[in-house]
Amino acid sequence: MSKNIEGFLYTRIAEIREQQGMTQKELADKSNLTVDQLDAIETSDFDRYEGNNIDLKLIAEALNVEYRDVIR
């Protein structure tokens, strides 16, 4: 998968999180990630942290959305 497509997927997380009025800290706590990891995922900073499918599924659960809603 190209970095551009991956970047879009991860910025979708920030969009959903913000729509729900959730902070990065709240989502990080609910998805068992650090704020730094979540920030790196949301900003597609793959040098700091490269998200994976397990993290995306945990994030989707924490946002109370389907996994497919995060990756579309």
Q: Tokens at residue 15, please? A: 């969009």
**pLDDT value at residue 6:** 57
Mean pLDDT by runs of 10 across the 72 residues of the chain is: 57 92 98 93 82 83 90 72
**pLDDT value at residue 56:** 84
Cβ-proximal residues to 59 (8 Å cutoff; 6+ apart), any chain: 13, 27, 31, 33, 38, 41, 70
**pLDDT value at residue 70:** 81
Domains in the chain: ranges and CATH: 3-71 (1.10.260.40)
**pLDDT value at residue 8:** 62
